[in-house]
Structure 1
Amino acid sequence: MKKVSRNEILKRIREAGIVGAGGAGFPTHVKYDANVEFVVANGAECEPLIRVDRLTMQNHPREIVLGMQYAMKATGASRGIIGLKAKYKDAIAALEEQIRLQQVSDSISLFKMDDFYPAGDEFILIREVLGRTIPEYGLPRDVGAVVSNVSTLVDVTRAVENKQPVITRKVTVGGAVNSPATFEVPVGTPYETLIRAAGNPTVENARLIVGGPMMGALSPDFSGVVTKTTTSLLILPETNPVILRRLTDKKRQLHLTRSACLKCMLCSELCPRNALGHELYPDRIMRSVAAGVSEDLKAYTGAYLCSECGLCATFACVMNLDPCAMNVELKKHLWDAGIKRPSVPRPTEARVFGDLRHVPVKRLVARLGLTPYDGPAVLKDFTEPMKTVTIPLRQHIGVPAVACVKAGDTVTAGQLIGAAPEDKLGANVHSSVAGRILEVTSQAVTIELI
C-alpha cells in the first residue's frame, strides 16, 4: 500500500472518474468523503446470471484488498468487510490469500452469505454483514458504513497507485447466445460488437436486457454502448417471462390489478424492504390502486421505499400481477405532483423472522425460465474488431461531464475528454481507446480507433 494522504486518495479517485460500478454510478470521491466505522465491499452479485463480481474477485484479489485499505483510509474506517456468497470458493481462497499476504487480517475480513436474492442490495448487505438496519430513506453512512462494489475497489487501487482512469468495464454476455462469457471491454463498446463476441443470439426475435433479469432494462434494439456501470447484456427469446413482464401494457396491468388481486399479502411478506421493518406494503398499494388512486398522493409516499427488486412480481404474486410496476408508476405520479422523497431518515427495526423470507437464487432462476442459461460465463479475451466507440458524458449520478475535446482531435487511451464541473456532482470521463474524435455533442464523444 502506498503512503498517500486521505486528500490525495480522494483527489486521485476524482481525477480517475471512478463511480459506483455496481450499477448506480454514484461518484466515489463524494461517497468516500465521510467518516464511518466500516467499509463494506459488495461482492454478492445481486442479479442472477451475472458473473462480473465473482470473476473480479477471483482475478483481482490483490487490487480489491488494497482498494479496501485506501477506502478505509479515506473514510476513517477501522474495519473492512468483504461480503460475498459462500459458494464462491475460488474467490474466497484468492481473497483470503491476499489478506494473509498483505498482513491485514486484523482489519479486513470476509463475510460469507447464503445464495439468495437480493443479497447485493446494500440495505440487505448491511443487515447481513453488520446486523444493522439502514433507516427508511437513509444511507449506509447512517449506520456507520460505506458500501463499495468490488470492481470499484479495483478501480480505486489503479487510480491511487498508477493514476489510471476508468476506461474499461467487465460485462457478462449471457442468455441465448452461442458462447456466454464475460469480457473486459473499452467503455463505449457497441452492444452489437459485444454480442457478436459471444457468438450472436441462438434464437429468432431475440430481445436484449441491459443489466440483470430482475432489475435490468429492456432495450428497444442492440444499438447501445457499454458504460462504466454496465454489468450484463442478457439475450432472451421474446416469449421468456423476463421479457413478457416488461412488455405488459401499463393500462392492462392496472385492469388486471383491479380484477385479479387476491389481497393475499404475499407480496408484502416477501418484500425485502418490508422485512427490514420499512413501512412498505405492496399489497396495500395494490388495494389502493384497485380502488382508484386518491387525489391525496401523500398517502402513497411509501412507494419511494421500493427498491424495485421485482420479487413481488416475479416470485410472490400467484396471480402474475406486478406490484413493483405499480410502485414505479406511483413514484412518477408523486414526483410530477411535486411530492418528493422524504429526506429525513426514519429508524426501523428488522421484523422477526425476516431472514427466513430469503428467496434462493436457484428457485428464482427456475421461476424466471432461466435455468438453461445459468452457466459459468467465464472470462475471455475481447478480440472482436470495432471501428468506433461512443462514450457518454453522463455515466453517473449527477450532471454530465463537459467535453474538453473537439472533432478532429487525436486522443490516447486514458486521456481526459470530459471534465466534471468543479462545483457540481459529477465524474470525469476519459477516452477508452487511442483514436480520432469524430463527433462531440452535449451527450457523448464518438472516437474512431486508429
Structure 2
Amino acid sequence: MTQITVEQVREAGVVGAGGAGFPTYVKLSAKADTVLINAAECEPLLHKDKEVLRDYADTVLEGLAQAMRLVGASRGIIGIKGKYHDVIDLLRPRLPQEVEIVPLPDAYPSGDEFILVYEATGRVIPPGGIPLHVGAVVINVETAKNVAEAAAHPVTEKYLTIAGAVAEPVTLRVPIGVTLEDCVAVAGGATVPNPQYLVGGVMMGYLEDNHHALVDKTTGGVIVLPEDHVVVRRRRQVWSQIARIGRSACDQCSYCTELCPRWLLGHPIEPHRAMRSLGFNLVGEANFIGTTFCCECNLCSLYSCPEDLDPKNVCTQNKRRLAAEKRRWENPPFVPERAERHLKNRRAPTARLMRKLGLTVFNNKGPLVDRPIVASRVGIKLKQHVGAPCQPVVRVGDVVRRGQVLAVPPEVNGKPALGVPIHASIDGRVTAIDETAVWIAGE
C-alpha cells in the first residue's frame, strides 16, 4: 500500500463529501486514537454512502487505513445501519484486526457525528466540541475513498443519490460541475409536474429553485418532490409565518426538547425554551444562548412537535444572531450521563419518520449505476468547502485537462487560507470565469 501524505490529500482537493465540506487534510493532521467511517446515511431516501461502500469496499478500507496511519489511530470503526446485512457481510472478511463494524439502529439522526461517536465508542463530545476532543476523527465513506485515491488523481467526480418523484431512483457518479437537472434526467426525469428539488435530503437539505444549480464536492443527493408535498410547504414558510404561528400556538409541551439529539447527549439546548423567545425577551438568558448548540437536524420541527411548529428555525435564527454578535456560552453546563439514561429509548425510527413526512409513497432504493453523463459544459464552483473561496489560476481561453488545477486558496499573511484546490472535471476550454465558478466547455 502506497503511503498517502497529508499534503497529497490537500493537493487532491479532498473535503468532507457531505455537509459543509471541511478540508480533510486538517483532520488528518491531528492525532487521535480512533478513526470512524460514517456510513450511517440516516437521511430518508438517500443511499449513496452504502452503495459506494458496497462497490468500492477495498478502496474505502484503504482510505480508512491511510487515515488511521496519519492520525496515529490504533482503532478503526465503520458505523453502518445494522439492517444492511449484505454490505456488512461483504465487509467482515476484508477487515484488518484493528477495524470493527458497529451496527447502528435504523433511526434519525444516527449519521450525526456526535451521535455516531457516542454509539460507536461510548464517548460524548462536549458542547461546542468536535470528535477530536474525545480522541476521534470522523470521515464519511466517499471521503475515505477519495483519501485512498489522493496520490493517483484529484477529486473530479461526485457520487449522489437521485430519489423521490423520479422514474428510477439511482445513485450516480457524475463530473463535478454538471447541473442538478442533468442528474435528475439520468434517473428518468421527474414524475410530477413542477418538481421541487431538495438538495442534501429532506431533513437537513435545502430547497433549490434553480434546477440548473451545479453539483459540487458536498452534493449528496437530490430528492424530487411534488410542489404540494408537506416538506416543500414547510420549507416555503417565511420567518414572519414561523414566528407568528409559533408565538400563538406553542403550548410548551417540551417534546422538541425531550427528543432533541443534542439535549439527549447532555448539551444545554432546550428548543421548547427557545420557543419562548418568540413572545418574551430572553436575550442574555441561558435558554436563549443554548441555541448555539443546535445541530439543525430538524427533528424537532419535522417529527417531534405535535402542532407542526418550527423550533428548529427559531433555534437557528437565535443561533445566527448570537454568532453575529460574537456571543458564546463559556463553560456551558454538560450532563453526559443523560445519553446513557435516555438516548436509546428516544430514537426516532426512520420508518416512522418517513410515514410522518409522507415519503413512503416513493421507492426507497438507490442502486449505484454506471450511467456516465457526457458533460458538454461544467461550472466548477470556486467555493466548495469551509474556508475562503479559491482564486483562479487559469484564464478564459485556456485549454484544460481533467484533473488540472483551476483555482487555489488565497494566501493570508503569507500562508494558504483554509481550503483546497479545485480541479477541472472534464477536458475542454475555459469559456468564462465569474465570482462563483470557472466554466469549461467540453471538447
After TM superposition, is the score higher than 0.5?
Answer: yes
Q: What is the aligned counterpart of 1:429 among 399, 404, 422?
A: 422
Q: State how far apart, in whole Å, the 2-side matches of 1:229 and 1:261 are.
A: 35
The residue that corresponds to 2:22 in the other structure is 26
Aligned pairs (5 A) from 1:8-19: 9-19=5-15
Q: State how far apart, in whole Å, the 2-side matches of 1:342 and 1:391 are.
A: 38
Q: State how far apart, in whole Å, the 1-side matches of 2:142 and 2:328 are.
A: 29
Q: After superposition, what is the alpha-carbon deviation per residue over 1:59-88, rounded to whole angstroms, capped at 9, x for unaligned?
A: 011011111111011101110111111111
Secondary structure at the aligned position of 2:272 is classed as helix
The residue that corresponds to 2:86 in the other structure is 90
- Stretches of structure 1 that go unaligned for 5 or more consecutive residues are none
| Aligned pairs, number | 437
1:167 touches 1:432 (CA, 8 Å); kept in 2? Answer: yes
User: Displacement of 1:259 after TM fit?
Assistant: 1.1
Q: CA RMSD in A?
A: 1.6
Q: What is the aligned counterpart of 1:229 among 213, 218, 230?
A: 218
Q: After superposition, what is the alpha-carbon deviation per residue over 1:256-314, rounded to whole angstroms, capped at 9, x for unaligned?
A: 1111112111110010111001111001111232x233454776221111111111111
Q: State how far apart, in whole Å, the 2-side matches of 1:343 and 1:433 are.
A: 48
Identity of aligned residues (%): 39
Q: What is the aligned counterpart of 1:388 among 377, 391, 395?
A: 377
- Stretches of structure 2 that go unaligned for 5 or more consecutive residues are none
Q: State how far apart, in whole Å, the 2-side matches of 1:343 and 1:425 are.
A: 26
Amino acid of the residue matched to residue 373 of structure 1?
F
Say if 1:171 and 1:207 are closer, same or farther in 2 by CA, change over 3 A: same
Is it true that 1:111 corresponds to 2:107 in the alignment? no
Which deviates the most, 137-146 or 343-352? 343-352
User: Displacement of 1:109 after TM fit?
Assistant: 1.0
Aligned pairs (5 A) from 1:244-393: 244-289=233-278, 291-296=279-284, 300-336=288-324, 338-342=325-329, 348-351=335-338, 352-393=341-382
Q: After superposition, what is the alpha-carbon deviation per residue over 1:381-423, rounded to whole angstroms, capped at 9, x for unaligned?
A: 2344432000001100001111111111111111111112343
Q: After superposition, what is the alpha-carbon deviation per residue over 1:301-338, rounded to whole angstroms, capped at 9, x for unaligned?
A: 211111111111111111110100101111222233x1
1:138 touches 1:345 (CA, 8 Å); kept in 2? Answer: no
Q: State how far apart, in whole Å, the 1-side matches of 2:332 and 2:400 are.
A: 45
1:137 touches 1:346 (CA, 8 Å); kept in 2? Answer: no
Q: What is the aligned counterpart of 2:124 among 133, 136, 150?
A: 133
Q: 4+ residue stretches of structure 1 with deviation over 3 A? A: 293-299, 340-348, 383-386
Secondary structure at the aligned position of 2:214 is classed as coil
1:275 touches 1:350 (CA, 8 Å); kept in 2? Answer: no
1:49 touches 1:375 (CA, 8 Å); kept in 2? Answer: yes
2:290 touches 2:329 (CA, 8 Å); kept in 1? Answer: no
1:135 touches 1:346 (CA, 8 Å); kept in 2? Answer: no
Q: State how far apart, in whole Å, the 2-side matches of 1:293 and 1:446 are.
A: 48
Q: State how far apart, in whole Å, the 1-side matches of 2:77 and 2:236 are.
A: 40
User: Displacement of 1:31 after TM fit?
Assistant: 1.1
Secondary structure at the aligned position of 1:257 is classed as helix
The residue that corresponds to 2:186 in the other structure is 197
